[in-house]
Amino acid sequence: MEKIKWVKNEMPKTDDKHFSLMDETAIRNATAFHKSFPQYTETPLADLKHMAEYLGLKGFYVKDESYRFGLNAFKVLGGSFAMANYIAEKIGKDISEVDYEFLTSPKLKEEFGQATFFTATDGNHGRGVAWAANKLGQKSVVLMPKGTTQTRFDNIAKEGAKVSIEDANYDECVRMANAMAEETENGVMVQDTAWEGYEKIPTWIMQGYGTMALEASDELKAKEDVPTHIFVQAGVGSLAGAVVGYFANLYKDNPPKMIVMEASAADCLYISAKEKDGKIRFVDGDLNTIMAGLACGEPNTISFDILQNHTDAFVSCPDWVASKGMRMLGAPLKGDPQVVSGESGAVGMGLVATLMQDPEYADLKETLGLDGNSKVLMFSTEGDTDPVNYKKILWEE
């Protein structure tokens, strides 16, 4: 069985210029925008009391994003907020003036007209962009990498997007979509990865993702609780940068331990951290993993900077870690709520359980200080977005 690999973050600190982008004020602005949607409800924070006790932890909390806007995943938070910011900027308004009602009004059509939003996706981000574009009366074009399942394709197509599966990996699809956006009149690239010269929209997307982190922190405050450890997964790292950035801002004096997890087939952050020089490394090839949402080999530059300064450890997880997490969350201990968690959502559960139960990883458990006083927060970022594979993993493996 392939081993879990990990590295303590010993990369040099930078001037942290992106850190303030994820402060509480910025994220509350994003949350106010999301609350203007008629479909908005706060997703539940599952309190797995019995699981915590079973694993020898003080608390175990799972933010369950399978309930988000009826889309079974968190990604729509980023795409919708980025689109709103782009439109607001184009018509000279502040984002606080550009809520759902305004964005869907005939007045906006007069002031802004029609744009085509382009994106590349492994599934959830593209579905979120397509859904938001559809709701706001805009167009969308979505490119998907080879190996994409029919279910993920169909979910995007039914939101009215022009969608295609390309003979290329995710990172190549990003480049293709960007070229198409540049060649299209009123074409806009909406991607949750940043590169030199493309940073504004990814920043807005990360701030949109922050809504999930803010809800979780508010839900924990209502329980008069503070997490000691936060486990968050990374593809390009935008979600991880949003979560780590938000909580590091919120608890500046005593931040929780931050652990970033990747699929071992696409562990560009882990490989970068292992070199300890602060330079970004890429992973290329087909990036074959069941964690489709994490199959990204080129990190977001803004997020990388935040993670470089505020992450405690980077962990490279084989597929079995995610499968194990899916089964544990899907078949909970009696008295705990069930969390239907997809391949990219459950890796935190699989990792925490392994660290608490397998002596082979005692060194990482000790390095992170995971013990009977630990209160763990993780994010189940998707439900059964690929229902066929979800059942196969839970019922057949």
Q: How far apart are CA 357 and CA 365, in angstroms?
A: 10
DSSP letter (8 states) at residue 187: E
Q: Answer yes or no: are the C-beta atoms of 297 and 270 closer than 8 Å.
A: no
Encoding tokens for residue 6?
Answer: 């990990």
Q: Answer yes or no: are the C-beta atoms of 208 and 81 closer than 8 Å.
A: yes
Looking at 47, 63, 64, 75, which residue is catalytic? 75
Q: How far apart are CA 189 and CA 119, in angstroms?
A: 6
Q: Count of residues for the chain? A: 397
Looking at 47, 64, 122, 386, which residue is catalytic? 122
Q: How far apart are CA 380 and CA 394, in angstroms?
A: 16
Q: Is 94 noted as a catalytic residue in this protein?
A: no
**Closest of 41, 37, 33, 126 to residue 84, by C-alpha:** 33
Residue 370 identity: L
Q: Is 122 noted as a catalytic residue in this protein?
A: yes
Query: What is the β-pairing status of strands 139-144 and 116-120?
Result: parallel
Q: Which residues are catalytic?
A: 75, 122
